[in-house]
């Protein structure tokens, strides 16, 4: 379960899918995976569920595929046989939870109240689906639930859209957001997987919220750094401020007191979630200078450099 929790958390989004035609499952899995969301909850709302899971796993073995709307243990059994790695139910379903736990299958039961969360705790679960998220009180309700149950992580689903997803993901107790909005039914029916892939990419970028933080200039020594930062101050009014290694001019320019990483310097890109961004880029084949990683007091990633340079600049991610 903890492994699953880490994996779901690193992806951040779980598309809820109801496929009518299992033939489309392979192409859909590829589109989501290439778009940066290698995860799906395939619901038992259609007869094509089990076959869709099988085809998605075949097309994208690395993808984390689970079954959704699991309300009977037989469904969990069938889905697991087809390759589903986790089971999601809309409500707290004891039969499904007990079956999954007894068969070493990860399970994410639906919870919408303190009573539900306490049931999940009794079973030793650390991740539940907060469903129906918006109708059950949304972000405010989740904040209240997290007070007494700080060890529990939630996957809000139900009424999540690209517009409100960010508010949920800001909460530490939210492992990922689920939703059908990530896979519009009409696009699946038309077989427009290119648009689905591009939508997934856009949603991932929205979730990670990349912004330019600052540009670092490699200067030979403190005097040169002072001169460069001073120029930005006198020309643009960007105020100088010195720290151990560099002199900032405003927040966008950092003149290094000695040559640092990058042939020309470095570029810092801010993100909503450095840990999740790191996983996303690793999946895309980028590598990182692990020795450059800086962690915050709570153990989350604060900053890390890519191994690759872009245009002579070393690039690093920094947590907002």
Residue 83 or 179: which CB sits closer to ligand 3PG? 179
Spatial CB neighbours of 166, under 8 Å, sequence gap ≥ 6? 206, 207, 209, 272
User: Residues near 269 by Cβ (< 8 Å), separated by ≥ 6?
Assistant: 210, 211, 212, 213, 315, 316, 317, 318
Residue in the structure block whose two tokens are 């290698």: 38
Closer CB to ligand 3PG, 135 or 227, in the complex: 135
3-state SS class at 153: strand
16 binds ligand 3PG (CB under 6 A): yes
CB of 144 to ligand 3PG, least distance (A): 21
**Minimum distance from CB of 49 to ligand 3PG (Å)?**
12
Q: Closer to ligand 3PG at the Cβ: 132 or 259?
A: 132
DSSP state of 38: -
Distance separating alpha carbons of residues 44 and 47, to the nearest angstrom: 7
Q: Is the dihedral of CA 259, 264, 268, 274 positive or negative?
A: negative
304 in Cβ contact with 288 (< 8 Å): yes
Helices 162-169 and 138-146 cross at an angle (nearest 10°) of 20
As a whole number of angstroms, the distance between CA 64 and CA 254 comes to: 41
Report the site for ligand 3PG in 118-137 (rule: CB under 6 A). Answer: 131
Task: Give the span between the Cα atoms of 124 and 117, in whole angstroms.
Answer: 11
Residue closer to ligand 3PG by CB (options 177, 213) is 177
Q: Give the residues across from 14 on adjacent strands.
A: 178
Can you say whether the dihedral through the CA atoms of 295, 260, 231, 268 is positive or negative?
negative
Closest separation between CB of residue 7 and ligand 3PG, Å?
19
Least Å from the CB of residue 243 to ligand 3PG: 45
Q: Least distance to ligand 3PG from the beta carbon of 90, Å?
A: 6
Query: How many residues are there in the chain?
Result: 320
15 part of the interface to ligand 3PG, by CB under 6 A: no
Q: Where are the beta strands (DSSP E) in 44-188?
A: 64-68, 86-88, 106-108, 110-111, 127-130, 153-156, 177-179
- Pattern 80-119, ligand 3PG, x by CB under 6 A: ----------x-----------------------------
Distance, CA of 96 to CA of 108 (rounded, Å): 10
| Binding segment toward ligand 3PG, per CB under 6 A, in 4-12, 179-187, 191-199, 204-212 | 179-187
Q: Mask: binding to ligand 3PG, 31-50, rule CB under 6 A, as x and -?
A: ------------x-------
Binding flag, residue 228, ligand 3PG (CB under 6 A): no
Stretch 234-273 residues interacting with ligand 3PG (CB under 6 A):
none
Minimum CB distance to ligand 3PG, residue 180 (Å): 3
Q: Kindly tell me which of 182 and 253 has the beta carbon lying closer to ligand 3PG.
A: 182
**Under rule CB under 6 A, which residues in 149-178 are in contact with ligand 3PG?**
157-160, 178
Alpha carbons 105 and 96: distance in angstroms, whole number: 10
For ligand 3PG, give the closer residue by CB, 71 or 292: 71
Strands 288-295 and 301-310: antiparallel
- Do the bridges between strand 246-249 and strand 253-256 make them parallel or antiparallel, or are there none, so unpaired? antiparallel
Least Å from the CB of residue 35 to ligand 3PG: 17
Indicate which residues carry an active-site annotation.
41, 129
Among 112, 180, 272, 279, binds ligand 3PG (CB under 6 A): 180
Q: Which residues sit at the interface with ligand 3PG, rule CB under 6 A?
A: 16, 43, 68-69, 90, 131, 157-160, 178-181
């Amino acid at each position: 379960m903890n492994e699953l929790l880490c994996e779901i958390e690193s992806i951040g989004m779980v598309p809820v899918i109801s496929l009518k035609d299992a033939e489309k499952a392979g192409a859909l899995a590829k589109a989501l995976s290439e778009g940066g969301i290698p995860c799906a909850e395939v619901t038992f709302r259609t007869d094509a569920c089990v076959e869709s899971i099988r085809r998605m796993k075949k097309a994208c073995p690395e993808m984390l595929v689970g079954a959704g709307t699991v309300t009977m243990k037989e469904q969990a059994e069938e889905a697991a046989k087809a390759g589903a790695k986790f089971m999601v139910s809309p409500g707290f379903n004891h039969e499904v939870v007990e079956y999954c736990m007894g068969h070493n299958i990860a399970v994410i039961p639906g919870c919408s109240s303190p009573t539900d969360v306490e049931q999940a705790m009794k079973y030793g679960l650390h991740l539940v689906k907060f469903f129906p998220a918006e109708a059950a009180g949304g972000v405010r309700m989740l904040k209240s639930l997290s007070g007494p149950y700080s060890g529990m992580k939630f996957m809000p689903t139900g009424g999540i859209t690209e517009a409100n997803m960010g508010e949920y993901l800001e909460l530490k107790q939210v492992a990922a957001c689920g939703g059908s909005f990530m896979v519009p039914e009409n696009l699946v029916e038309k077989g427009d997987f290119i648009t689905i892939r591009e939508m997934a990419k856009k949603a991932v970028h929205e979730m990670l919220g990349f912004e330019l933080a600052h540009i670092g200039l490699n200067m030979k020594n403190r005097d040169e750094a002072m001169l460069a930062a001073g120029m930005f101050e006198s020309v643009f009014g960007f105020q100088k401020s010195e720290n151990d290694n560099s002199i900032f001019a405003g927040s966008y320019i950092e003149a290094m007191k000695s040559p640092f990483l990058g042939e020309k310097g470095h570029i810092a890109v801010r993100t909503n979630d450095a840990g999740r961004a790191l996983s996303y880029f690793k999946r895309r084949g980028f590598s990182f200078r692990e020795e450059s990683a800086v962690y915050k007091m709570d153990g989350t990633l604060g900053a890390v450099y890519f191994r690759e340079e872009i245009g002579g600049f070393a690039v690093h991610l920094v947590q907002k």
